[in-house]
Chains A and B, each alone.
Chain A
Amino acid sequence: METSKSQAVQDYEKLVREISPKSAVLYNSVKAFFVGGTICAAAQLLYNFFEGRGFSRDDTGLLVAAVLIAAAVLLTALRIYDRLAKFAGAGTIVPITGFANSIAAPAIEHKKEGMILGLGAKMFVIAGPVIVYGTVTSVIVGLIYYFMK
């Protein structure tokens, strides 16, 4: 009985794979490449702009990040970012704007459950893992760097 059940599961999995269409990976990658690239190019223009105003290299980097984050949050609130992301996929997820969107979107969605348990607690529901594992990874890399130096 067990084997016939697992055979049925395997057969069905094969049928599902046959019938269900796959995402258009190549087409999506091309779109992601161009939109992601455009965001990075815009960031470079911002970088040149701030650098031209006499900001230090560190300050310029921070200013560019701040402007991109603010722009992404604004576009999220205006319901434009999710439409752009539907087209661009990873092209809008990977840059820092995607990170901003992942914090702003749950904040908007859960505001109705209150400022503390709603907005405050749910804000990091998507970005949380990125922060946790980003921090953990940076500690490990930092330790390796420290001992190898």
Chain B
Amino acid sequence: MKHFGESSVKFANPPSILGAAAIVGPKEGEGPLAKYFDKVSHDILFGKDTWEQAESELMRQTIETAVRKAGLPMKAINYILAGDLLNQNSGSIYGARSFERPFFGLFGACSAMGMGLTLGAMLIDGGFAENVVANASSHFCGAEKTFRFPLELGTQRTPTASWTVTGDGAAVISANGKGPYITAATTGAIVDLGQKDVNNMGAAMAPAAADVIAKHFGDLSLANDYYDVIATGDLGKYGNKLLVQLLQKQGLHFGDSLTDCGMLIYDAERQDVHAGGSGCGCCAAVLAGYFLNKIRSGEMKKLLFVPTGALHSVVTIQQGETIPATAHAVAIEAALPHFSE
């Protein structure tokens, strides 16, 4: 059995991330992580006519880059697993259309990258695939149009609102390769602590992140200092504060090793993004661009990557429902555990 405890798995033959790529939009290109991304597009439309086409083009380019960096032809990819925020996953579907590879569309809102990495690693360790692409994308303008207001509408954001990242991160996971390895994963349940404010998504998602992190450490009997970095997806700075409190209640103290991709991708003060970055592409691009580079260069050895997603729809919120959330924890390590010990 590779299943451990309540909701975790350990991979018998941990798959490697053979190549990864991150492409972002102009605002992210002005942020502190700019130099880590494979490409910064200064055109928010990515040469297309609509926001929706722009996101698909962004996704297509990122996957193409990741597969090329992995040194594989597109034909060698057995499955593409991809998710985004547009209705019916259309960002991913139109983006992957030209690849003509077997495709699974994922819906986990901004937790999509965690789902993709988990399922991809399961497919490979299960012997059903040799190479899989996990991808997640988001586009600020497309997300505003889908979930909030037209861009030109005069509104004010609340202090807890976040800024949807225009970006995409793709990872080629493979049965071959010498790391970074996906060693374990914990899949989140749907957690809802009654939050209703769609302008405070960090608060809605923090309980899901706390739940999955606690289960990960419990299921796998890990010491609190096992990981160099625990990075949640897009809780933002207030969601991060809430997470720290929720984890402390369960006796989990991570100190400075606990961070959030939404806090890293922008300079919150200078770039006026309030709580921080959000969106499927936020943590995907930070992982593919920043963290995997840090692991490859040896600066970081063990990362727990925890993409977080708010799973409401515009309709359910208008009907007075609360915001359900989820989070998926994926352990990414520079070396295989039994080699390092």
Q: Which residues of A contact B (CB under 8 A)?
A: 8-9, 12-13, 15-16, 19-23, 28, 76-77, 79, 81-82, 84-86, 88-89, 92-93, 98, 101-102, 104-106, 108-110, 112, 126
Determine if B89 is an interface residue (Cβ-Cβ < 8 Å). Answer: no
Interface residues of B, CB < 8 Å — how many? Answer: 25
- B200-A101 in contact (CB<8A): no
- A82-B153 in contact (CB<8A): yes
Bound-complex Cα distance A40 to B236 (A): 39
Bound-complex Cα distance A13 to B197 (A): 11
Supposing A9-B193, A15-B242, A20-B238 touch, asked if A109 and B152 sit within 8 A by C-beta, the answer is yes
Mark the stretch among B2-10, B122-130, B156-164, B221-229 that contacts chain A: B156-164
Supposing A9-B193, A16-B203 touch, asked if A22 and B150 sit within 8 A by C-beta, the answer is no
Determine if B102 is an interface residue (Cβ-Cβ < 8 Å). Answer: no
Chain A residues with CB under 8 Å of B160's CB are 20-21
Chain A residues with CB under 8 Å of B193's CB are 8-9, 12
Chain A nearest CB, measured from B161 CB (Å): 10
- A82-B152 in contact (CB<8A): yes
Bound-complex Cα distance A22 to B207 (A): 21
Q: Give chain B's interface secondary structure class.
A: loop
Chain A residues with CB under 8 Å of B151's CB are 82, 105, 108-109
CB-based A-B contact count at 8 angstroms: 84
Supposing A9-B194, A12-B194, A13-B194 touch, asked if A19 and B153 sit within 8 A by C-beta, the answer is no
Bound-complex Cα distance A92 to B154 (A): 7
Within 8 A of A (CB), among B57-89: none
Chain B nearest CB, measured from A35 CB (Å): 11
Determine if B195 is an interface residue (Cβ-Cβ < 8 Å). Answer: yes
Chain B residues with CB under 8 Å of A9's CB are 193-194
Chain A nearest CB, measured from B118 CB (Å): 27
- A12-B207 in contact (CB<8A): yes
Chain B residues with CB under 8 Å of A92's CB are 154
Chain B residues with CB under 8 Å of A106's CB are 150, 153
Bound-complex Cα distance A23 to B160 (A): 9
Supposing A20-B200, A82-B151, A105-B152 touch, asked if A15 and B158 sit within 8 A by C-beta, the answer is no
Bound-complex Cα distance A101 to B155 (A): 10
Supplied contacts A12-B195, A92-B154, A105-B150, 5 more A-B pairs, CB within 8 Å: A15-B242, A23-B159, A82-B155, A86-B157, A88-B154
- A85-B241 in contact (CB<8A): no
- B50-A112 in contact (CB<8A): yes
Q: Give chain A's interface secondary structure class.
A: helix
Bound-complex Cα distance A86 to B161 (A): 13
Chain A residues with CB under 8 Å of B242's CB are 15-16, 19
Supposing A9-B194, A16-B242, A19-B238 touch, asked if A81 and B159 sit within 8 A by C-beta, the answer is no
B18-32 vs A, Cβ < 8 Å mask (1 yes, 0 no): 000000000000000
- A79-B152 in contact (CB<8A): yes
Chain A nearest CB, measured from B141 CB (Å): 9
Determine if B145 is an interface residue (Cβ-Cβ < 8 Å). Answer: yes
Within 8 A of A (CB), among B192-225: 193-195, 200, 203, 207
Determine if B245 is an interface residue (Cβ-Cβ < 8 Å). Answer: yes
Bound-complex Cα distance A1 to B241 (A): 27
Chain B residues with CB under 8 Å of A82's CB are 151-155
Closest 10 CB pairs of A and B: A85-B154, A109-B150, A9-B194, A105-B153, A105-B152, A105-B150, A21-B159, A12-B193, A16-B203, A106-B150
Bound-complex Cα distance A88 to B155 (A): 9
Bound-complex Cα distance A101 to B152 (A): 8
- B145-A109 in contact (CB<8A): yes
Supposing A19-B241, A112-B50 touch, asked if A84 and B154 sit within 8 A by C-beta, the answer is yes
- B153-A126 in contact (CB<8A): yes
Chain B residues with CB under 8 Å of A16's CB are 195, 200, 203, 242
- The residue in chain A whose Cβ has the minimal distance to the Cβ of B202 is A20
A-B contact pairs, 18 of them (CB 8 A): A15-B245, A16-B195, A16-B200, A16-B242, A20-B203, A20-B238, A21-B238, A22-B159, A28-B156, A76-B154, A82-B155, A101-B153, A104-B152, A105-B151, A105-B152, A106-B153, A112-B50, A126-B149
Bound-complex Cα distance A68 to B156 (A): 21
- B152-A108 in contact (CB<8A): yes
